[in-house]
Amino acid sequence: MMRATSLFLLWVSCVFGAPVSKDRQKLLLISFDGFRWDYDRDVDTPNLDQMAKDGVKAQYVTPPYLTITSPSHFTILTGRYIENHGVIHNMWFNTTTTEKKPYYQSQFVNEWWDNGSLPIWITAQRQGLKAGSLHFPGTASSYQGQVAMVQEVEPLLYNYKNETAWRENSDKVMSWFRDRDLDFVSLYFGEPDGVGHKYGPDSPERREMVRQVDRTVGYIRHSAEHHGLTDQLNVIITADHGMSTVFRNGLVEEITLSKIPGFSFRDLSFHLLDYGPSGMLLPKPGKLDGVYNTLKGAHPHLHVYKKEEMPEHLHYSKNDRILPIILWADPGYVINGYFPVQFNKGEHGYDNQEMDMKPFFRAVGPAFQKNLEVGPFETVNIYPLMCHILGIQPEVNDGHLSVTKHMLVISDSRGSGDEKNHLKNAFTGLAAVAGFLVVTFIAIMSQKMLKRKHKNKRSDSFRDAQSEPVQSSF
């Protein structure tokens, strides 16, 4: 009996230690930086169109404010609004030393990224999966001492437009899935953001880059098939923000803070300006109200807020890294400090409710329905969707699976991070415990019945012996 019990307990431990599902699905997250929601409307995009027929297309998605690269991408990776994950800008800065680092150098400032929120790479790896990232913002950092299992950061002065490199990176990621058995990979392309800035979102150069994006989408799907991943691999393609045309050449009165009557940079300890349509100011002690009142209403297309007064829908106030005064401009305008130093024809960083700031969204694979177009949703909800597909428990986040769950096939029976996985494990555990108790009960009852039967036999034999007649010897 003891040996049977030990064997059964060993079997139970094997059940709990076994993976929930042998046919787990893989996920590739792709970002094409600055791909606005309507960029496929004035360009022939047969591969994106086919992807929509084979999967899911959203009308558009809404990024978080501030609508710039690093903060928006980290929201996708964590499911948190920018005020909650803390990567509040593309630029790392220090208000005491007034030092600032540009986008690329900020990728290597670990404490800027490792601020309490975990990207999906780390969460997946902590739950037994394998993850990687290629060029995705945040890849260079470690989080609570951990990095993506397979990672590649682009070199300085990298050519984000090189289509040959795009194909090589696509094949590299597919080999990670096939040869290294990765479960999740994030892949980043730096266009059409670059051409949108340089030439404007309505330019022929932008339209040609969209054609390159479309060719790459087709190549990625072909590469997945070539690597034998079609039946396992889900692909989500989206972006961090859109793009808006900047008004120049005397068409408008530009916003230049130094020209505003009563404003002085001597009243500031630190400022983050000349970075598109947004800015932040740190006034010197006792100067906050004066600076605020001077700038408020100074230009009809300049919005000025104390951080605690920021509109709630922007979720951009409740973080110590955010400076006391926040500025942003209406679409078409940029904020200059002393004088204009930026001459892009396209910009982003505007209010995330502006349609020009909305990115696109496509998804295809065994987890997704086919030929389904859905309404708009916030990019903060992409994270719980990815966790569901991977079958992992999400970290605390600001998204909701209910927003995107209708995109999934009805027969999807893998565990979601916050529902099915736990239910399946719970039922498996309960079944194992119930089975063990039943076996134990049967064994104990059988032993008792056997003992009783033996006892009854001995009693009957004794009574029979006592009742036999004594025979005479004569």
Tell me: the pLDDT tens digits for 177-232? 999 999 999 999 999 999 999 999 999 999 999 999 999 999 999 999 999 999 99
- Confidence check: pLDDT of 425 > 70: no
Beta bridge mates, 150: 132
Q: Region 271-286: what's the mean pLDDT?
A: 97
Q: Round to whole Å and give the CA distance between 399 and 75.
A: 10
Helix or strand holding residue 234 (H, E):
strand 233-238
pLDDT tens by residue, 441-469: 555 555 656 556 554 544 444 444 444 44
Compute, in degrees rounded to 10, the torsion defined by CA atoms 351, 87, 68, 266.
Answer: 80
Angle ∠(424,429,432) on CA atoms, nearest 5:
125
Q: Round to whole Å and give the CA distance between 299 and 405.
A: 44
What is the reported pLDDT for 440?
52
- Topology of the domain comprising 24-245+352-414: Alkaline Phosphatase, subunit A (3.40.720)
pLDDT tens by residue, 133-179: 999 999 999 999 999 999 999 999 999 999 999 999 999 999 999 99
Question: What percent of the chain has pLDDT above 90?
Answer: 80
Instruction: Identify the weakest region by mean pLDDT among 22-36, 84-98, 321-335.
Output: 22-36
- Confidence check: pLDDT of 420 > 60: no
Q: Region 85-113: what's the mean pLDDT?
A: 98
Q: Round to whole Å and give the CA distance between 151 and 107.
A: 13
Q: Region 252-271: what's the mean pLDDT?
A: 96
What is the reported pLDDT for 249?
78
Residue 91 backbone zone (phi > 0: left; psi -120 to 50: alpha; other: beta)? beta
- Confidence check: pLDDT of 264 > 60: yes
Name the residues annotated as catalytic: 69
- Report the chain's mean pLDDT, rounded to a whole number: 88
Q: Region 250-267: what's the mean pLDDT?
A: 94
What is the reported pLDDT for 454?
53
Q: Region 282-302: what's the mean pLDDT?
A: 98
For domain 255-343, give its CATH number from 3.30.499.10, 3.30.70.420, 1.10.357.10, 3.30.1360.180: 3.30.1360.180
Q: Region 275-287: what's the mean pLDDT?
A: 97
**pLDDT band of 248, cuts 50, 70, 90:** confident
What is the reported pLDDT for 447?
63
Which residues of the chain form CATH 3.40.720.10?
A: 24-245+352-414
Which residues of the chain form CATH 3.30.1360.180?
A: 255-343
Residue 70 CB neighbour total at 10 angstroms: 23
Q: Round to whole Å and give the CA distance between 334 and 449.
A: 89
- pTM confidence score: 0.83
Are 25 and 414 in contact by the 8 Å Cβ rule? The answer is yes
Compute, in degrees rounded to 10, the torsion defined by CA atoms 164, 170, 175, 176.
Answer: 130
Q: Round to whole Å and give the CA distance between 449 and 443.
A: 10
Q: Round to whole Å and give the CA distance between 454 and 446.
A: 12
- Confidence check: pLDDT of 412 > 80: no
The two structure tokens encoding residue 177: 């899935």
The residues, ordered by sequence, that sit 6+ positions from 242 with a Cβ below 8 Å of its Cβ are 34, 35, 36, 37, 67, 201, 348, 355, 356, 357, 358, 359
pLDDT tens by residue, 122-138: 999 999 999 999 999 99
pLDDT tens by residue, 381-397: 999 999 999 999 999 99
Q: Round to whole Å and give the CA distance between 433 and 79.
A: 36
